Amino acid sequence: MSKVAVIGAGYVGLTTAACLADLGNDVMVVDIAEQKIADLKRNRVPFYEPGLAELVERNTKAGRLTFTTSYRDAVPGAEYAIIAVSTPEGEGGEADLSYVEAAAGAIADAMDGPIVVVNKSTVPPLTGDMVSKVLQKRNTRHAAAVVSNPEFLREGSAIQDFMHPDRVVVGSHDRAAAEKVARLYAPLGAPVLVTPNIYTAEMVKYASNAFLATRISFINEIARISERVGADAKLVAEGMGLDKRIGPFYLDAGIGYGGSCFPKDVAALAAVAEGFAYHPELLHAVMDINRDQRMLVIDKLRDCLDELPGRTIGLLGLSFKRRGGRPRPRHRVERVSPARHGADQAADAPADHHRRAQHLRPRADAGPGFHLPRHWPRITPNPGPSSRAGPASSAPTSARRFSTAAFASWRWTTSSRARRTTSSTCRAIPTSSCAGRTSITGPS
């Protein structure tokens, strides 16, 4: 079994560390966030991920998993240093690689022998070369091979995804180093793709995320067209998804993609292409559709409530994933916010995690007209079928009278048929009857 240093105790780093420890490796996690490490040393996992706390506790007790803020504790003697630090979106859409660069520099300063540096952070092609240069420049005594090993786990099912991956991708200019990293995953029995250079492995991750985002923007465009021609977008997606060549995944029309990865990764891939003097037309269309899709929420709310000033709007589903605990907004809240359109807004994470939405309070309170309720009222289903369909201006007075509405941002049906027939599409607190006035539906 191997000695592994994992750099970064976030979703990817901690999951990787706990799983590799559970596979029998000796793993030390290093993070610059002192509080996070202090919490982990006391067996407190700083975010909720199903099964992770138990895995951390079991492996900590077994002595296979330890935590530190010092690279000098973690790196000397390690065969692998796995970089899993954040790569946020930079100002021009490009990936901000400063955390990766800092991690590479710190590994170089601490290493006391040859080491394989594994890049698990999502990074654009050529980042591996940058990491190699930093290592070579900062440590001339010992050799370090750099391997790209992108991570495909999803928050909410991180452990399952790590332990049962569809595939493991490793790539390096140094084939032996790539195969050494592949051996870490051998107990999983997953298909392993070893790419002959590092750029290919780096590109697999970006291409995968961009493709999934493209499917989402595609179905949202289909939904907009469906709405206009009287087709039921949900059934259109279902009909498409039954085709084995297409499959059902990532074909839910809704408010577009969000979360911590797709927006930044699509933007970063587009920035990479532009950097090579290629204009990625499709990627730009995907981003444009996604941006515009958010405004449909406002249009549909106006449809339901006529006017937004003075209304209180509840947002369900702000947290990133249904079973995830971290209320990472699916979209930047302020951008999609009805508050920008004059309404008060209440926000909530998915129903089973709504207490955690309180973490959003400081941010929410900072925005005008945006608040979180201290006591989230029970959301009752709409009492009955819609009495009508038609333009907002002729909405029944009962629909307009209620100033408090809540909707869930998971998915919606956009067909005109849904507009005519849906009975629970717009929910009011405590009860209301603006059903049929919008086609936004609750979590499924």
Ligand X SMILES: NC(=O)c1ccc[n+]([C@@H]2O[C@H](COP(=O)([O-])OP(=O)(O)OC[C@H]3O[C@@H](n4cnc5c(N)ncnc54)[C@H](O)[C@@H]3O)[C@@H](O)[C@H]2O)c1
User: Which residues of this chain interact with ligand X, rule CB under 6 A?
Assistant: 7-13, 30-33, 36, 84-87, 99, 102-103, 121-122, 151, 153-155, 260-261
- Min dist CB 362 to ligand X, Å, is 18
Whether omega for the bond prior to residue 88 falls within 30 degrees of 0, making it cis, is no
- Min dist CB 84 to ligand X, Å, is 5
Would the CA dihedral through 319, 321, 323, 324 be positive or negative?
A: negative
Angle between helices 11-22 and 52-61 in degrees, nearest 10: 50
Nearer to ligand X, 33 or 126 (CB): 33
Nearer to ligand X, 32 or 240 (CB): 32
Catalytic residues: 261
Nearer to ligand X, 7 or 286 (CB): 7
DSSP annotation of 89: B
Nearer to ligand X, 46 or 373 (CB): 46
- Min dist CB 385 to ligand X, Å, is 39
- Rounded to whole angstroms, the Cα distance separating 183 from 177 reads 10
Helices (H), 185-261: 198-229, 233-241
Residue nearest to ligand X (CB): 10
- Min dist CB 199 to ligand X, Å, is 17
Residue 283: name the closest of 264, 262, 269 by CA.
Answer: 269
SS3 56: helix
Nearer to ligand X, 132 or 425 (CB): 132
CB 429 within 8 A of CB 404: yes
- Rounded to whole angstroms, the Cα distance separating 41 from 397 reads 58
- Rounded to whole angstroms, the Cα distance separating 209 from 195 reads 18
CB 132 within 8 A of CB 108: no
Task: List, as one string, the DSSP characters of 6-40.
Answer: EE--SHHHHHHHHHHHHTT-EEEEE-S-HHHHHHH
Task: List, as one string, the DSSP characters of 259-319.
Answer: TTTHHHHHHHHHHHHHHTT---HHHHHHHHHHHHHHHHHHHHHHHHHS--TT-EEEEE--S
- Min dist CB 240 to ligand X, Å, is 26
- Give the CB-side neighbour count of residue 74, counting CA atoms within 13 A: 29
- Min dist CB 239 to ligand X, Å, is 30
Nearer to ligand X, 261 or 434 (CB): 261
Nearer to ligand X, 180 or 205 (CB): 205
- Min dist CB 317 to ligand X, Å, is 17
Task: List, as one string, the DSSP characters of 129-173.
Answer: HHHHHHHHHH-SSS-EEEEE------TTSHHHHHHS-S-EEEE-S
